Amino acid sequence: MKIAVCIKQVVTRDSLLRVDDTERWVRDVDAGFEMNEPDAYALEEALRLKEQSGGEVIVCSAGPTRVSQVLREALARGADRAIHLESDSLAVADSLTLAQALAAALRTEEPDLILTGLQSDDQGFGQTGVVLAELLGISHSTIIMEVKLDLNGKGEIRVKRELEGGWFQWVTMATPALLTIQSGINQLRYATLKGIMAAKKKEIRKVVTDSSVESTQAISRIYVPEKEKKTRFIKGTPSQAAEELVRVLRDEARVV
């Protein structure tokens, strides 16, 4: 089975973020970077499926040169090869633009299964995997908690979806298919010294994308939450003032 995993490099959660001069993103020079957590669980699930059925795991990521860091990390954990869509603009692109680039790179690979994280820790659209499946013309299922391979030779998979209110749903799907993986589906493995050394010899194929492509959505402004102080006088009799105060705290301030 050939499994492709889409991973993203995001700013580490404990980084001290500063807005850049354009006020449309954060200053990269001030931030540390790591693999997007839901994508790490998708990678781990792909490696476990490979251990069950054989085949290969291909990791794919889009962004500037620094993205090679998470690709090397994925290779060290056990992925077989990597694809790097090298582009500065794709690092902050919207779901459609990113999915179009990923689709172009993965279409020739013809994977049996594509795994992505449920959403990214930075923008959190939760749409890239779904749009990618549509562009490739394959079936998809989201918020996956468990994956079981077909043991009857029908080329199917059985997946467990998380629904609202503590409910779950089992779905049988034909391959090729795309799944968006929920965090916590498995226990992540660490890269071993042997894996780190082996990763240096594994292939990272670079794909140059069209740098003139612009996102279909644009970030207008990023800013630190603004604080302001206001004083509000509530008039009326004591009983009227008390009733209005309760209403304000309940409906407007939402503290009771």
Q: What is the pLDDT of residues 143-152, one digit of tens each?
A: 999 999 876 6
Report the candidate in 231, 183, 223, 185 with the shortest Cα–Cα distance to residue 39.
Answer: 183
- Which residues of the chain are modeled with pLDDT < 50? none
Report the candidate in 203, 180, 214, 231 with the shortest Cα–Cα distance to residue 84.
Answer: 203
- pLDDT for res 88: 84
Tokens of 36: 């997007």
Distance between CA atoms of residues 67 and 69, nearest Å? 5
Would you say the C-alpha torsion 191, 193, 195, 197 has a positive or negative sign? positive
Distance between CA atoms of residues 51 and 101, nearest Å? 29
- List Cα–Cα distances, 189 to 30, 78, 109, 143, 252, in angstroms: 28, 10, 26, 21, 46
Which fold is adopted by the domain 2-208?
Rossmann fold (3.40.50)
The neighbouring-strand residues paired with 223 are none
- pLDDT for res 210: 65
For the question of whether the overall pTM of this predicted structure is more than 0.85, the answer is no
Report the candidate in 112, 93, 81 with the shortest Cα–Cα distance to residue 177.
Answer: 112
- pLDDT for res 212: 58
Tokens of 218: 């644009």
